[in-house]
Amino acid sequence: MKKLILKPGREKSLKRRHPWVFSGAVARIEGELDVGDTIEVRSADGEFLAVAAYSPHSQIRARVWDWKERAVDSAFFNERIKRSVEQRRTVLDADASDAMRLIHGESDGLPGIIADRYGDTVVVQLASAGAERWRDEISESLQQVTGAVSVWERSDAEVRQLEGLPPRTGLLRGSVPAAPLVLSEHGLLFQIEFEGGHKTGFYLDQRDNRLKVRALAAGRDALDCFCYSGGFALNMLAGGAKSVTAVDSSADALAQAQHNAEMNGLPQAEWMEADVFQALRRFRDQRRDFDLIVLDPPKFAPTVSYVEKAARAYKDINLLAFKLLRRGGVLVTFSCSGGVSADLFQKIVAGSALDAGVQAQIIERLGPGADHPVALNFPEGEYLKGLICRVSL
């Protein structure tokens, strides 16, 4: 097997089983390599450390497949995918939803691979050079292990550009899914745009948090920012909110949200097509206020180099939200930026409350559901962070 040799002293993170090798740690490559090839990673003195996938165009030069010497082949992927799927069998009550994340990248020992199941369809994202190299084996194993009728690819996330990979979408195995796909979640139905929607079509990681927001909504005037296809807004309506205003910049997403409300027989929200930052300022100037606000923005910091800019954006929307909350009101605020730590996010929210001139308490910390595990050796997997904050009376 071809080898990647580290610089002296750069093996420490790998010995702690962190699965990434950055370009700055690489001393040399031994052998001719193609994108996604499997390599041995060795220390400067020749000690074996891991087998990994090679990515010559990325700052993450190699992603670890395994910590022992072994072949990476179709049997490897079948074994890993079967293990990942089996581990999901007990983490979600069947009555809660018929959709679930099956593979969660590095946290399941499958770097760069995401797979979500919607009924008989599995939607997969391949975001790394190694995952791209083994596309056929991965899709075949997914269909074999899950029994899915369709395996659909949504490898169009911006992170592929960092790997030097073009976007790819389309059918990988089986037949084209019967459109539209509809999932059931805690008694609500949502139509899924698996071909062109966000992520794989829906934000499965917010499943538990949507239910928490439903429980907070009764009798409140509520605002859902970055509402997408209505996940939080519909739960506010189902929870008995007095009124719901839902804001998103996408007309298509708002039309989908409105359709989802109709499909569930719910009253309609005030669906508002607008830039959320501008809408919040307009609400402030109009002296509108709310009892419950949800902020679930897109990823402001795709890498750590964006953290400073992202922090300003998070500060802006949280400051405005605190100004719009009535006394006793509740802010449910999220960051899905892996480059923004939980500590930093709390500091940003705390600074926002201070600048807004309000006293607030954290009454609960939120994260993704149990089908989105975080490996202890890979803290970067803890990307979704949320706080439920109550403004003092």
DSSP secondary structure letters along 235-263: HHHHTT-SEEEEEES-HHHHHHHHHHHHH
Instruction: Write down the pLDDT at residue 197.
Output: 80
Domains of the chain: 3-66 (2.30.130.10), 74-181 (3.30.750.80), 203-391 (3.40.50.150)
Instruction: Write down the pLDDT at residue 307.
Output: 86
Instruction: Write down the pLDDT at residue 299.
Output: 85
Closest CA to 63 of 5, 24, 104, 22: 22
Q: Residue 178: pLDDT above 80?
A: no
User: Residue 232 CB: number of other CB atoms within 10 A?
Assistant: 31
Most confident of 131-140, 299-308, 334-343: 131-140
What's the whole-number mean pLDDT along residues 52-71? 96
Q: Residue 301: pLDDT above 80?
A: no
Instruction: Write down the pLDDT at residue 300.
Output: 84
Which residue in the block uniquely carries the two structure tokens 């939120």?
Answer: 366
Contact 78, 91 (CB under 8 A): no
Q: Residue 95: pLDDT above 90?
A: no
Instruction: Write down the pLDDT at residue 94.
Output: 79
pLDDT category of residue 159 using cuts at 50, 70 and 90: confident
Per-residue pLDDT of 304-323, as tens digits, reads 777 888 899 999 999 999 99
Q: Residue 92: pLDDT above 90?
A: no
Instruction: Write down the pLDDT at residue 157.
Output: 86
Q: Residue 196: pLDDT above 90?
A: no
Contact 27, 44 (CB under 8 A): yes
Catalytic-residue membership of 336:
yes
What's the whole-number mean pLDDT along residues 24-53? 96
Q: Residue 86: pLDDT above 90?
A: yes
Per-residue pLDDT of 253-295, as tens digits, reads 999 999 999 999 999 999 999 999 999 999 999 999 999 999 9
Instruction: Write down the pLDDT at residue 151.
Output: 97
**pLDDT above 90 as % of the chain:** 87
Separation of alpha carbons 127 and 106, rounded Å: 11
Q: Is 339 helix (H, G, I), strand (E, B) or coil?
A: coil
pLDDT category of residue 114 using cuts at 50, 70 and 90: very high
> pTM for this one?
0.93
Q: Which of 225, 227, 336, 389 is catalytic?
A: 336
Q: What is the b/e burial string over 124-149, where b = at least 16 CB atoms within 10 angstroms of the residue's CB?
A: bbbbbbbbbbbbebbbbbbbebbebb
pLDDT category of residue 386 using cuts at 50, 70 and 90: very high
Residue predicted with more confidence, 309 or 114: 114
Instruction: Write down the pLDDT at residue 93.
Output: 86
Instruction: Write down the pLDDT at residue 76.
Output: 98
Q: Residue 216: pLDDT above 90?
A: yes
Instruction: Write down the pLDDT at residue 177.
Output: 82
Contact 185, 206 (CB under 8 A): no
